[in-house]
Amino acid sequence: MGRLRDKFGRAITDLRVSVTDRCNYKCVYCRTGNEGAQYSELAIEDYLRMVRRFVALGIEKIRLTGGEPLLRHGLVEMVSELAKMRTPYLSDGAHKDSSHPLDIALTTNGHLLEGLARPLKDAGLNRITVSMDAVDSETFAAITRVPRSFDRVMAGIRQAKVVGLAPIKVNCVLLRGFNDNQIEQFAEFSRREDVIVRFIEFMPLEEDRTWKPETVVPMNEVVGRLNAYRPLVELAPNAASETAKRFTFDDGLGEIGIIAPVSRPFCGHCSRVRLTSDGKIRTCLFSQSDHDLYGEMLRGGTDEELDAYIRKVVMRKEERHHIGEPGFEKPSRNMVHIGG
C-alpha cells in the first residue's frame, strides 16, 4: 500500500508525541494554573508500540513534547528505544535500506534541561527546541508565572550546546502587551548565543479560551521591526513542509524563523500528525475530534489492525485550518492536552 499519505497526497513523515500533559510552568497563553487538574500519561512501552506502527508506515521524524516532557520518568530510556528504530521509506516514497535512523527531537521549556542534556544526547536525541518567551528574567517570570527560572533555562540552553544537541532552536510565542517589546532583544540573543530564534504567532489554543486577533503580532510587523534593527536576508526553506519563514542578517550572523499560522497559513505542505498523552491521534492542531489509537490497542488490535486504523485516520486529515475565518471553531482540546 505504500507509505502513509492523506487524501490530498501529502506524505506524512512527522509525528509529534506528547509523553505527558503535566507542566511545571503556568504560561499566561497556555494554562489557567488550575492546581486540581487531572493529568494523563501512558506507559512508555505503550507509546513505543504506537510509534513503531507509525514508523513502519513511513514516519521519519519524531518530536517528543508535552506538557513538559522532561518531567516524564523513563524519557531517556524512551529516546534510547526510539534511536533503535529504522524508517523503511525515502522521502519520495520508495523503499530504502532499513538502516536509516529516525530524526529524534524534543521540545522543552528548559527548566530541567541542564541535568538531562547529556543523558538525552547519549541516548540518541538529535536536536532540541526550547520554548522561551522573553530574554530578561522579569518578563520571563511574568509570562511563565514561575519566579527565578530564567537562569536555569539559560544554563540548560548552554549545556545543550556543549553536548551537541544542535542546531538549538528557541521558540518565542509573541503576545501583544506581554512580550512584543522583546523582538529586537531576541535578535541580539540569536547572534550572541548562536541559536535559531523562532517567533510564533499566538494561536487560539490556550486553556482559558481568551484568544483575540488583536493579541497576535503578525509576521509583517515582526519582519519590519527586525529589518529596522538590522537588514534581513531571506533564507531558503530546509524542506517544503517547513513551518518557519527563515532569515539571517546582512552580515550572516544569527538566524530568525517566523511561524505565522494566523497571518500566513502553511497548511498546503503539512506532513505532521500528533499523538496525545492519552494515546489519541490528532490530524491537525485545530481538529474538532481525535482518534483513539490507544483504545484500539486495549481492545487487542494486532499490528496490522493498528496500521489499518492509522491509515484510515490519516485519510481524514484536514486540508487546512480556518483561523480568522467566519465560523472558525477553536479545537476540541487546548494545547497542553494536544501536545506541542
- Residues within the annotated binding site for [4Fe-4S] cluster? 23, 27, 30, 267, 270, 284
Q: Which three cell numbers stand for residue 31?
A: 494554562
Coil/strand/helix, residue 275: strand
Task: Collect all residues with Cβ–Cβ distance below 8 Å to 301 and sequence separation of at least 6.
Answer: 309
To the nearest 5 percent, what fractions of the chain are helix, strand and coil? 30, 20, 50
239 alpha carbon, distance to own chain's centre: 16
DSSP 95: B
Q: Residues annotated in the binding site, as ranges?
A: 16, 23, 27, 29-30, 63, 67, 107, 131, 169, 203, 267, 270, 272-274, 284
Is the separation of the CB atoms in 83 and 102 below 8 Å? yes
Residue 20: CB atoms within 10 Å? 23
Count of H helices and E strands in the chain?
10, 12
Q: At 302, phi and psi to the nearest 5?
A: -75, 170
Q: Residues annotated in the binding site for S-adenosyl-L-methionine, as ranges?
A: 29, 67, 131, 203
- Give the up-direction half-sphere exposure of residue 257: CA atoms within 13 A in the CB hemisphere: 21
Q: Residues annotated in the binding site for GTP, as ranges?
A: 16, 63, 107, 169, 272-274
Q: Which three cell numbers stand for residue 44?
A: 512508555
Burial class (CB in 10 A: 0-12, 13-18, 19+), 218: middle
Residue 281 CA to residue 294 CA, distance in Å, equals 9
